[in-house]
Amino acid sequence: MEYLIIIIGAIFVNNIVLAQFLGICPFLGVSTRVSTATGMSAAVIFVMTLATIVTYLLKTLILIPLKIEFLQTVAFILVIASLVQMVELILKKVSQPLYQALGVYLPLITTNCAIMGVALLVFKRNYSLVESVVFAFSTAIGFGLALIIFAGIREKLELYDIPEAMKGAPIALLIAGLLSLAFMGFSGMV
C-alpha cells in the first residue's frame, strides 16, 4: 500500500513539473510534437531511475561512511552527466531519427533540475533504496505524462486560429498553467 501511495503521489498529486515546477525547460522546449515528447519521456525515465539508484548507493555507501556528504551535489552532477552521455551514445546507435529529433534537448537532461531534484528528494523523505527507485520511476512517468499531454494539446492548437499575440510561448504558458490546475484536482487522493 505504501508503494501505491508513492506511485500515485509522484505521478498525479506532486507531479514534478506541474506541482513542483522542476524540469520546466525540457517541458516547454520538447513539447511541440508528441513523438519528440515520447522520446524525451523515455530518456528521462531511464536517466532518472538509474541516476537515483546510483546516487543513492553513492551517498549511502561512500559519502556518508567517509563523512564527505558536503560533496553530494558535485558527485550527483557528475553521475547525472555521465548517465546522460551514456543515453546519448545509446540513442545515436539505436535510434538515429529520435537522436536527431531530440537534438539540443538531450543534453538538457544533464541540467534538468527534475533529475537532481529526485536524487535529493529521496534523502529528504528518508526513502529506502526500493522506495527511492519506485519514487524515481513514478516521478519520471509523471513527467512523461505531463509532457505528452502538453505536446498533444500544443499539436492540436496548431489547427486553430489563435490571435497572433498569443502564438508560441504565451499560449504554451497559458496551457501549462491550465494543465497544472487540472492536476491539482488529484490533490485529495493521497
Q: Which string of DSSP letters, residue by residue, matches 49-106? A: HHHHHHHHHHIIIIITTTT-GGGHHHHHHHHHHHHHHHHHHHHHHH-HHHHHHHTTHH
- Answer whether residue 190 is part of any domain: no
User: Residue 144 contacts by C-beta under 8 Å, 6 or more apart in sequence?
Assistant: 37, 38, 40, 41, 42, 44, 45
Share of the chain above pLDDT 70, in %: 96
Cell of 187: 490533490
12 inside domain: no
Domain contains 96: yes
Domain ranges, residue 102: 2-7+20-184
Tally the domains of the chain.
1
pLDDT digits (tens, 9 = 90+) for 75-122: 999 999 998 888 788 888 888 887 776 666 677 777 778 999 999 999
Q: Is residue 85 part of a domain?
A: yes
pLDDT surpasses 90 at 73: yes
Residue 61 in domain:
yes
Q: How high does pLDDT run on average in the chain?
A: 90
Domain assignment present for 14: no
Does residue 189 belong to any structural domain of this protein?
Answer: no
**Of residues 48, 177, 167, the one with CA closest to residue 119:** 48
Q: Is 121 within the bounds of a domain?
A: yes
Give tens-digit pLDDT for 40-70. 888 888 889 999 999 999 999 999 999 999 9
